[in-house]
Amino acid sequence: MSRTWRVGVAGLGTVGAELVRFLQAQPDFAPGRDRVEVTAVSARDRARPRPCRLEGLAWFDDPVELARSPGIDLFVELIGGAEGAAKAAVLAALDAGKPVCTANKAMIAHHGQALADLAEAKDVPLLFEAAVMGGTPAVKLLREGLLGEDVRTLAGILNGTCNFILSEMERSERSFGEVLSEAQRLGYAEADPTTDVGGFDAGHKIAILAALAFGYAPNLECAEISGIERIELLDIRLARDLGYRIKLIASAQREAGGAVVRVAPALVPLAHPLAQAGGALNALFVEGARVGRLYLQGPGAGAGPTAAAVAADIADVIAGARRPVFQRPANELLPCPPADPGHRSGKVFIRLMVHDRPGVIAAVSEALAKAQVSIDSFLQRPVDETGVVPIVLTTQPASEAAVADAVGHIAELDALVQPPRVLPLARI
């Protein structure tokens, strides 16, 4: 028996309009004999021109009404935002027993547990492949492909805007501010870029991936987030001289009874595939006990790739896929405890801007030695016209507490002209 699935799409912006256009062009794209028909839509401005046909479709000013409408069998949320209309509409659709597909990473990261509780209580799918890495199937990889695997490490470039800015700073030797302005002009960055450049968007995505990989409920509280706003061209140049590239790395590691979930600019060895993912690309490196090292790369955003991921979720609903929303049933999801800082360790890059005086390097070495932090590599650049010299070093693996102790002592040296810049080396 074949069936027509009546789909309601809330949000007709970049992704929503492209999805409607695709479903109208290929209503029988899903394997099997079932078809898809977009019957109803919701957006704010009815008069706005859209790249899809709206004649004959029911229009809802209120997406919650659309979500509850008896005229749809499946609800697609492409409005965005953790709260407000998007969340209210998704809750309404699940409550009405309708499957939901969404690309909304902020909502899943903030409310994943509550939404999974409701979806599973109502026995309806809640799918969100497009929420992380656009059309590159990272969610499916972790939720299905690696089910049962002991995933140890995730490290990814999950924000295309930051990757574009860092790549462009290095390529064109321009400052963060100059490249950000260009990215805004080209439409790669929002007028208010805080969510992207502050690391929060990547934070939403790594919280979702960590939940899928480790069996946790998504928990943003557990994530330590810093962005790329303070990265200077000098850091990029000096890192490259030492054999690294600076990337905004979103990572999650299981450690000491918890997990370290973090977004931070970090140094990646130039030969590593994550260092090669330039421009606005997204990439994800996964390491598991049995599968070894896996690597995914692709466009993390854009109308086509993102709509393709939503369409794949719709096909899964049609195929009758019934899986827990995250890695395990919602009532078995574990809290995500932050790993004990005393047990956390890694290598770091330290950049110091110092007055060129005798004894400075000895004082820096002494502060590190006192804290039991060993130097791995060291570089000093020529003195500039103001008499200031950049010194950079990378350390051997050391506890975060020991590094903080050493950096605290270095920061007190008279010769320093600005606070030390400390960046982690990516653990990959």
Ligand X SMILES: NC(=O)c1ccc[n+]([C@@H]2O[C@H](COP(=O)([O-])OP(=O)(O)OC[C@H]3O[C@@H](n4cnc5c(N)ncnc54)[C@H](OP(=O)(O)O)[C@@H]3O)[C@@H](O)[C@H]2O)c1
**Region near ligand X per CB under 6 A, out of 14-22, 261-269, 336-344, 400-408:** 14-22
Regarding 130 and contact with ligand X (CB under 6 A), the answer is yes
Task: Identify the burial level of 257 via C-beta atoms within 10 angstroms of its C-beta, where 0-12 means exposed, 13-18 middle and 19 or more buried.
Answer: exposed
State how far the Cα of 348 lies from the Cα of 346, in Å rounded to an integer: 7
Give the x-and-dash track for 278-317 against ligand X (CB under 6 A).
Answer: -----------------------xx---x-----------
- Is the C-alpha dihedral spanning 60, 64, 70, 71 positive or negative? positive
Catalytic option among 98, 105, 205, 347: 205
State how far the Cα of 160 lies from the Cα of 300, in Å rounded to an integer: 6
Closest CA to 153 of 200, 105, 210: 210
Regarding 12 and contact with ligand X (CB under 6 A), the answer is yes
105 is catalytic: no
| Minimum distance from residue 277 beta carbon to ligand X (Å) | 17
Cα–Cα distance list, 425 to 120, 184, 248, 305, 364 (Å): 40, 29, 11, 31, 20
Pair 94, 124: CB distance under 8 Å: yes
Structure tokens at 248: 């905004």
Task: Using the minimum distance from each CB to ligand X, give the nearer residue, 43 or 242.
Answer: 43
Regarding 208 and contact with ligand X (CB under 6 A), the answer is no
Strand positions, DSSP E, 230-329: 244-255, 258-269, 281-288, 292-299
Subset of 51-110 contacting ligand X (CB under 6 A): 63, 78-80, 85, 103-105
| Minimum distance from residue 395 beta carbon to ligand X (Å) | 37
Task: Using the minimum distance from each CB to ligand X, give the nearer residue, 87 or 272.
Answer: 87
Subset of 16-35 contacting ligand X (CB under 6 A): 16
Regarding 259 and contact with ligand X (CB under 6 A), the answer is no
| Minimum distance from residue 425 beta carbon to ligand X (Å) | 29
Closest CA to 78 of 99, 54, 105, 58: 105
Instruction: Please identify the residue of the shown chain whose CB is closest to the bound ligand X.
Output: 13
Task: Using the minimum distance from each CB to ligand X, give the nearer residue, 86 or 213.
Answer: 86
Task: Using the minimum distance from each CB to ligand X, give the nearer residue, 39 or 253.
Answer: 39
State how far the Cα of 244 lies from the Cα of 231, in Å rounded to an integer: 14
Chain contacts with ligand X (rule: CB under 6 A):
10-16, 42-45, 48, 63, 78-80, 85, 103-105, 130, 134, 301-302, 306
